Amino acid sequence: MRVPAVGRPGPLAVVASNAVAPVGVLALGWSATVLLGVFVLELAAVLFWSAVKVPFAAKRPNNLMDDQRLLGPLQAKRGGIDLPGPLPPVYLRNVPTLVALVALLAPIELGVAFLVFALSDPTITTETTGQLLVGGVGVFAARGVETWADYFRAGGYRDHSARSVALAPFKYVFGVGTLLFVVGPFGLDSGAVLALVVAGKLAYDLRTIQVERDPDRRGVFYRLYGSKETEIEPAPIPEPDGEPVAHVRPSRSVAVTDALYRGGFYTLTSPVVLCYVVAALLAVFAPSWLVAVPLAVVLAFGAVRATTRYLRYGTLEYRSYDGVLVAYDTLFGEPQQRIERDGVKRVAVEHDPVDRWFDTATIEFDRGDDAPPLQFTVPDPEEVEHDDTPGSLVAAHVDDPGALADALGVGWLYERDVESTAGTD
């Protein structure tokens, strides 16, 4: 049950954060340097609280990146991790967006903001430093109240995916940056220009709230990027009642070996391979201890890839019912995929090196779905395809793929297709 935000404290907090700058300018005599600095600090606050929000976003992104080898497997994960106390569950599928926000988007956006601040030729004194500290604490606290009121207390996390949360700081940079670009040539030392900047930013923030709260309004950002209305409402995968006819789970040794193999293979077939070249050059032309730096990078990326691979397939068991196959995650206690006998159009069997080492096979039950058409804008919310069921179910490293196909009732497809696919990598 969603708890209403009494008195709409979220929008009031945004108004309060905008009031910090004009109150400082009019009542405390802040300069243009302090005003710009507070804007930069507010961006830092927006980025911080966005990073806090991302792990809890309950919706699924409408642009799953399952094919992205490093972090894509995490975004495909269903199920959350319950936390003690009043906090909602966190979702493993939000980790890729959190990493992108913290490691890539936040540094770029803060770098641009500080560049704008530096180009204004600010005068930093002990007095302005204290004023910046006061203003920064004010906007940070106000944005924190907004996060608590609208996102956690009122249940806003149920309406967002990690992508739609990450849109907020990007829009802030664009909106405020455009405003400063337009009025900057007139000089921020003018009281009229300062008033225009403050009023323009307040109008921008209030307009953002209006668009977010009105499903009939869609701006340019929402058409190009999407919004919380165009993200996918999570629907649990139904599991048939009763005991499965058969269930198969690869052994722990196979799952760990597969993860380690994929981690090492990734470092040799991605841009990470350049680190090996750098290590070789350092070994020849530099002190030997420097070789550890690129090798540490290789180890880090390989470990991440191995971990995501294990979480994608190593924790699954395959439960076969009458005409239904379910991939069940034993770590999260949540079905991940489901395919019915009538939905299988093709069966493919592959043997990668791990399969050959352990005498297993990887079998794919393919629905034969066509690729979605390419679109340059996000469709209206009522036109978004909310079925995010994958086009195929892959059972990795099973001992007897034929028995699994027979249990699903597609043994004839297995016999028809296996000759053309067996033995491929």
Same domain, 250 and 217: no
- In this structure, the answer to whether residues 292 and 356 fall within a common structural domain is yes
Are residue 250 and residue 317 in the same domain, yes or no? yes
Residues 209 and 154 in one domain: yes
Same domain, yes or no: 78 and 219: yes
Higher pLDDT, 391 or 169: 169
Which residues are within 8 A (CB) of 237 and not within 5 positions of it... i.e. 6 or more apart? Answer: 78, 326, 334, 335, 336, 337, 338
Looking at the fold, whether 199 and 307 belong to one and the same domain comes out as: no
Pair (202, 329) in one structural domain? no
User: 33 and 156: one domain?
Assistant: yes
Q: CA-CA-CA-CA torsion for 148, 198, 105, 52, nearest 10 degrees?
A: -10
Task: Give the residue carrying structure tokens 């699903």.
Answer: 408
197 and 266 belong to one structural domain:
no
pLDDT at 7: 44
Query: Residue 273 sits in which domain range?
Result: 246-421
Any residues with CB less than 8 A from the CB of 20 and at least 6 apart, and which?
Answer: 38, 135, 138, 139, 142
Burial class (CB in 10 A: 0-12, 13-18, 19+), 378: buried
- How sure is the predictor about 183, in pLDDT bands with cuts at 50, 70 and 90? low
202 assigned to some structural domain = yes
pLDDT tens digits, residue range 333-351? 999 999 999 989 899 999 9
Tell me the average pLDDT across 220-230.
Answer: 70
Please check whether residues 213 and 128 belong to one and the same domain.
yes
Please give the pLDDT value at position 126.
84
pLDDT band per the 50, 70, 90 thresholds, residue 42: confident
Structure tokens, 55: 């792990």
Portion of the chain with pLDDT greater than 90, in percent: 33
Total domains in the chain come to: 2
Judge whether residue 74 has pLDDT over 70: yes
pLDDT of 392:
86
Has residue 11 got a pLDDT over 50? yes
Tell me the average pLDDT of the chain.
80
**pLDDT for 320 beyond 50:** yes
The predicted structure's pLDDT at residue 1? 38
Q: Could you give the percent of the chain with pLDDT greater than 70?
A: 72
- Which pLDDT value is given to residue 34? 75
CB within 8 Å of 412: residues ≥ 6 apart: none
Mean pLDDT of all residues in 174-188: 60
- In this structure, are 219 and 266 located in the same domain? no
pLDDT of residue 146: 86
